[in-house]
Amino acid sequence: MKKLIKLLKIIYWFGLLLGMAVACANESEATPSPTFTANTVAETAVATTPAPTDTPQPTATSTPIPTPAVPRIGASDQTLTDEAMLEIVSVVSPEDGWLVLYAMRDGDLGAVLGFTAVSTGLNQNLMLTIDPQLATPNLVALLHTDAGEVGEFEFPDGPDEPLLWESAQIATTFALDFQLSNPVIEASEQAIGEDGILQIDSVLLPQDGWLAIHAEANGRSGEPLAFIPLTAGLHENVAVTIPWRLGTPTLIAALYADAGEPLHFDYEAEDEPLLAEGEPVVATFSATYPPDIFVLDQPLVDSTFEVERVISNGPGWLVAYFDDDGEPGLIIGSAPLADGLNERVMVEVLETAVTPIIHLRLHEDSEPGDDFDFPRVDQPILYEERLPSTVTFSLTPGNYLTIHDQPLPDTGTASAVLTVDLVVVDVPSWVAIEADDDGERGEVLGFTAVSPGVNHDIAISIDPTLATETLYVTLYLNAGEPDEFDPDGADVPLQRNRSPISVPFFLLNEDE
């Protein structure tokens, strides 16, 4: 039985193997070997290409635009030394342009102190050299465009205007701690003698320059009375001689650069004031002078005459004496004086006692507030233990005038104003300016009326288109209608020695 089962298993496996062999033979006959022809490749390609399917299309997306950096300037407070180098930490600029440093005065932009180019984007650690004499305690850093010639800063006379971002300027401020070798002047109160010499205690100059002494005019510096050159360095006990009769109770010492022609003081031109922390270097000091009187010959008008200037050391009196054979006689009038400079002092006198020559003398005011009371008090002033000579003037000088050469103001209008310095007349008069006609007085260009007495700084309007290089100022009698100038009628020229009182003067150009 076991043998039978074993035989059946052998038969089964043999039949299975035989069937598999026949199937392989049939498959081999049905599939020929491929031949690589063009048609076959094409068919094969077509036969084997899969059916098309729906391919998803990409969705369009927005390309992100970078946000521009906000323009800004980063600057910190810093020290200003003699090297005059400043640092701006960072600048972010929306375009190529300029970083400009300005002085700041009273909250407004002042002078341009320095500038440097900046490029679009971030700029770091920018170094600028400035003029330390023009620096102020606070500076402004401001961005400008480079709208003109590339690489050339063209402002204010050019197109490189301040750069705007959203209608606003891009700026910042920062403070300076000044540690400079600043110019210095030290001056003390002093008495100036008849030699006019004054002393300035010390002067420190960082460069060659000028020391000038100015009279005070309405709290500010007037014209310089004197000036001397000084080399760089420290100078002590500097002596300066001034025309002391032009001095004021307060004098102003000032320092200037010697920036123009060497050893030639170019006041209000190249030789500009030296500055410290943005302000001119000056020292004010009080001065006293010898007692002095300056008076013009003039007519007596309504029992009164005018004294141009008087210097009194302390409160005093200006006293008028009549003439007694060349010497002061009796007192005929007086006027009170303040301490220091007194200008255009009016003195009323007893007209019945007036002589053609008047003598003037200074007296003390021993009891301020009281009337003049000489000889009980208010004695004549002594100077250096002596009685100064009296000052005399004439009440019968005739008529005269003075005028200086001057530029013709460019007002852009149909008229310009010229000034006659002084006119002294004893009758109502006209002052006229006339054109030149081949060396003679020509057409009247302008005129104004003056009263008897001393008249200062007479302004006369003329037509500038009719002006000649040489002009004349002439005095005319005001004999007709007081408000109507009639030179061809009653208003004839005033004369001296049978000639019209007329003075030629010249119109200057700016250089002159």
Residue 11 lies in a domain: no
Residue 193, domain CATH: 2.60.40.10
Q: Of 374, 394, 414, which residue constitutes the final position of a domain?
A: 394
Residue 54 lies in a domain: no
Residue 28 lies in a domain: no
Same domain membership, residue 194 and residue 96: no
Same domain membership, residue 414 and residue 386: no
Per DSSP (E only), the strands in 338-439 are 340-348, 357-364, 391-394, 400-402, 406-407, 416-425, 429-437
Same domain membership, residue 270 and residue 209: yes
Same domain membership, residue 464 and residue 376: no
Q: Among residues 228, 250, 238, 179, which one has the least CA distance to residue 203? A: 238
Domain holding 225, by residue range, is 184-288
Same domain membership, residue 404 and residue 382: no
Same domain membership, residue 384 and residue 423: no
Q: Of 178, 211, 229, which residue constitutes the final position of a domain?
A: 178
Q: For the chain, what is the domain count?
A: 4
Burial tier of 64 (Cβ tally within 10 Å: 0-12, 13-18, 19+): exposed
Task: Tell me the C-alpha distance between 201 and 300, whole Å.
Answer: 46
pLDDT at 437: 94
Question: H helices then E strands: how many in the chain?
Answer: 2, 37
Q: Of 268, 288, 308, which residue constitutes the final position of a domain?
A: 288
Q: Which single residue is written with the structure tokens 């200086």?
A: 404
Same domain membership, residue 414 and residue 495: yes
Residue 83 lies in a domain: yes
Helix intervals (H) in 160-305: none
pLDDT at 7: 47
Residue 483 lies in a domain: yes
Residue 34 lies in a domain: no
Same domain membership, residue 410 and residue 495: yes
Residue 358, domain CATH: 2.60.40
Same domain membership, residue 364 and residue 407: no
Same domain membership, residue 297 and residue 272: no
Q: Tell me if 334 sits within 8 A of 305, measured CB to CB.
A: no
pLDDT 10s per residue in the chain (512 long)?
A: 444 445 445 444 445 444 544 444 444 444 443 333 333 223 323 333 444 445 555 555 555 545 567 999 999 999 988 888 999 999 999 999 999 999 998 889 998 999 999 999 999 999 999 988 788 889 999 999 999 999 999 999 999 999 999 999 999 999 998 887 788 899 999 999 989 999 999 998 888 899 999 999 888 888 899 999 998 888 889 999 999 988 888 999 999 988 888 888 888 788 889 988 788 999 999 998 999 999 999 999 999 999 999 999 889 999 999 999 999 999 999 999 998 889 999 999 999 999 999 999 999 999 888 899 999 999 999 988 889 889 999 999 999 999 999 998 876 677 899 999 999 999 999 999 999 999 999 999 999 999 999 999 999 999 998 999 999 999 999 998 888 999 999 999 999 999 999 999 999 876 55
Same domain membership, residue 450 and residue 438: yes
Residue 2 lies in a domain: no
What token pair was written down for 389? 């000579």
pLDDT at 4: 42
Q: Which single residue is written with the structure tokens 């000056």?
A: 282
3-state secondary structure of 404: coil
Residue 22 lies in a domain: no
236: Cβ–Cβ under 8 A, 6 or more apart, which residues?
201, 202, 203
Burial tier of 148 (Cβ tally within 10 Å: 0-12, 13-18, 19+): middle
Stated as kind and residue range, the H or E segment containing 20 is: helix 2-30
Same domain membership, residue 374 and residue 303: yes
